[in-house]
Amino acid sequence: MTEPFRDPANPLDVRVDDLIGRMTTREKIGQLNQRLLGWHAWSRRDGTAVTTEALDEEIAHSGGLGALYGLLRADAWSGRDWSTGADPAASAEVAALVQRRVVAGSRLGIPALFVEEAPHGHQALGAQLFPTNLGAAAAWRPELIERAAAHTARELRARGAHLALVSGLDLLRDPRWGRGEECYGEDPLLASLYTRAVVRGMRREPGIGVVLKHFAGQGAGIGGRNGSPAPIGPRELTELHLPAARAGIDEGALGVMAAYNDIDGVPCCANGDLLTRVLRDRWGFEGLVMGDMFAVDRLMRAAPTPAAAAAVALRAGVDLSMCDVSYAALHEALDEGLVTEPLIDRACRRVLSVKLRLGLLDPPAPAPSFPPPEPVADLVAGGMVLLRNHGDLLPLSREARVAVIGPNAADLASLLGDYVPPLPDGTGTTVLDGVRGLLGDGVRYEPGCLLTMPIEGGLARAAAAAAGSDVAVLVLGSTGRRDYRDDFQTNGAARLGDARPAATTGEGFDAAEVELPAAQRDLVDAVTAGGTPVVAVIVSGRPHGIGRVAAACDAVLYAWYPGPTGGRAVAEILFGTREPVGRLPVSLPRSSAVLPVAYNERLETTERYIDADAAADFPFGAGIGYTRWAIGPASASTDRVGADDLAGVSVVATVHNAGTRGGTHVVQLYARALVAGRLPRRAVLVGFARVALAAGQRREVRVDIEPDAVPGLGIGAHDTGMLELWFASRAGEPADPLRLRLDPAAGELRS
């Protein structure tokens, strides 16, 4: 007879209860651990995949296996490459092989969750890579990332994985942070819409669950230092850092990852307010909470023993740990009375529920085949932001003699960002490839310098190349390139030792200086000195201070990390095949000395320093295309609203393509809530609309306020006051706002 937990016809609760009832304490604690790094679970022997002793030991230790992280991960840290890793064809077999071993080693035959990194594509050989989050957010088109996420989920399912680790919850509040590329920018609404889209996309694939990271407030870390303290208060947390998580959970995310940082002194992994009171009691979340890698062990900085650290985390609400030594000490914690069996059961129940919901204990369904690549040109190009176009230099003529110059001009790795596998040889399109693809191989190329260092004679050759051309395309920025010889911390973040790694962004690559390195600034000076028009293309995962570049160059295009086909998109934009339609998802600072600069900080009286303006250099929402726009005054469908009714408000205005060329604009709706006794944020994005119009055309644009806007505004259900609303083409534009009365008694909307 089949045990009740195996019968898909039974309700989830019945199956979980039955299964838990059969398990020993040791087996339950085993389910709460994912200590083994997945690439240590298998190897190749004579071309055949085999499981390792390390896997057997871990299974034996835990009486099974809760989860396995990174089984298919391929990158410098795992050491897996095209000769040692699992390509798309081999992956499902590797997964099945390991899973059979896990099931065989589990008395009750419980499979492991296979957990994979998939922040912008699966970090495995042959996976399709998408722009990093920051570049995707710059497209202001969550629907495109939904399709990308659905594709990645299909890949994951075809390979036998179950849980995708996806960034998106962190807000990019400090440009010094190396992980800025993993954020959907500085704004909670944009992050919420994108997080929702990712979850929606991945949920199209049954059997794949999303774990959202990081929960919570990691973007508020002081100094832009990775995982640093976030001494913020509950309003700051709730208004800015929680909405994306709430949105993703409402959309059906199965897990969240508890972050490294503390919030006002309490590490997220020890934070019962966050993991239980907010997440479970208030939001009703029923999935699992996974600790970030070694994050529970970090509690040992204050806890006297591993058991004490584990107990704090379990009590707070961490269900599944990652790599921690301490979580295996839950046995001791139980013996010492630091935790109770029901607490173990609570966590185990959540892990098993996820396994059941993803079908791990159901009769196996045939895995789908590995999907063909998803078309991504709109997404890749859509996030590129034109910030300056002096004298309408762009779009360039194809007749022009073009020199492509700069350290990122011909470096494929620099287009990709962090958390990427090695690409197959011969794939990808650099900016140089893209321009040559349009203009032919006669296009001149000079690197000019390395990202952080000069090249002997590089400046002179670059200047000469520019001088001999009608226009120079200068490709600058950063790189997330990891080297297989780099040194790594135990959690895979780079270790900054004596040997300087190649990368300048990514996890472990926080930078004090937001300006481009001196070597690149010298290159800008050299290339612009001769008078040839120069287009700067910034390829980077970080919001740089580009004031000097913008002052020296005629045009500036911010390309972020667009992925392997990014070079073609750049070329298409430069030569007018496509209009640049991206808008900044994060403010570009003027320098590291003028931080923070997010557009949605609260109102200030002091707007400048004695030696600098306090505003951003290029604000959130900025970006131009190849035509010009005018937005008329806003009007709303009501003149009084209750905070709970906000989602029902529609705001309209007439938008006019006032230029001589068709184009697309992102019309942004901002709000400010005036509630007595509260200090309002300068502005809060509450919605936006993309408008495509022919030259001279007008159209009425309507924005329906999204429910997610409400927490960002900081309005409570009982607040009275005023809501100011205005349309703009970027944050900080002067506006004459529309005013609605905030009135909790407003029962229904008036037309």
Q: Please give the residues from 629 up to 648 whose contact with its own copies meets the rule CB under 8 A.
A: none
Q: Quick one: which H or E segment has residue 688? A: strand 684-693
DSSP 572-632: HHHTTSS------SSPBPS-TTS----TTSBP-S--EETTEESS-SB-TT--B-SS-EEE-
Could you say whether residue 589 binds its own copies (CB under 8 A)? no
Could you say whether residue 252 binds its own copies (CB under 8 A)? no
**Antiparallel, parallel or unpaired: β 721-728 and 663-674:** antiparallel
Could you say whether residue 523 binds its own copies (CB under 8 A)? no
Q: Minimum CB separation from its own copies for residue 266, in Å?
A: 6
Query: 657 with 579: CB under 8 angstroms?
Result: no
Reduced to 3 states, what is the DSSP secondary structure of residue 653?
Answer: strand
Could you say whether residue 692 binds its own copies (CB under 8 A)? no
Size of the site for its own copies (CB under 8 A): 75
User: Rounded CA gap, 135 and 376, in Å?
Assistant: 13
Query: 19 with 107: CB under 8 angstroms?
Result: no
Q: Which stretch binds its own copies (CB under 8 A): 192-200, 304-312, 342-350, 640-648?
A: 304-312
Which is closer to its own copies, CB of 174 or CB of 433? Answer: 174
- Helices 188-203 + 142-159 axis angle, to 10: 40
Site for its own copies, residues 150 to 179, rule: CB under 8 A: 176, 178
Q: Which stretch binds its own copies (CB under 8 A): 128-136, 310-318, 442-450, 568-576?
A: 310-318
Sole binder of its own copies in the list 8, 79, 265, 457 (CB under 8 A): 265
Q: Which stretch binds its own copies (CB under 8 A): 23-31, 44-52, 363-371, 506-514?
A: 506-514
Which is closer to its own copies, CB of 122 or CB of 213? Answer: 213
Sole binder of its own copies in the list 11, 45, 83, 301 (CB under 8 A): 301
Sole binder of its own copies in the list 71, 171, 270, 689 (CB under 8 A): 270
Sole binder of its own copies in the list 47, 233, 426, 442 (CB under 8 A): 233
Q: Minimum CB separation from its own copies for residue 746, in Å?
A: 16
Could you say whether residue 227 binds its own copies (CB under 8 A)? yes
Site for its own copies, residues 722 to 741, rule: CB under 8 A: 722
Could you say whether residue 514 binds its own copies (CB under 8 A)? yes
Could you say whether residue 299 binds its own copies (CB under 8 A)? yes
Q: What tokens were used for 664? A: 């697309």
Could you say whether residue 340 binds its own copies (CB under 8 A)? no
Site for its own copies, residues 484 to 503, rule: CB under 8 A: 496, 500
Could you say whether residue 229 binds its own copies (CB under 8 A)? yes
Q: Minimum CB separation from its own copies for residue 42, in Å?
A: 30
User: Rounded CA gap, 560 and 537, in Å?
Assistant: 9
- Helices 88-105 + 142-159 axis angle, to 10: 60
Which is closer to its own copies, CB of 302 or CB of 460? Answer: 302
Could you say whether residue 298 binds its own copies (CB under 8 A)? yes
Long-range contact pairs involving 658-662 (C-beta distance under 8 Å, separation at least 24) = 658/627, 658/628, 658/629, 658/630, 658/696, 659/626, 659/627, 659/628, 659/629, 659/695, 660/627, 660/695, 660/696, 661/626, 661/627, 661/695, 662/627, 662/692, 662/693, 662/694, 662/695
Site for its own copies, residues 603 to 632, rule: CB under 8 A: 603-606, 608-612, 614
How big is the CA angle at 159 (ends 155 and 165), to the nearest 5 degrees? 65
Sole binder of its own copies in the list 69, 114, 184, 260 (CB under 8 A): 260
Report which DSSP code applies to 433. H
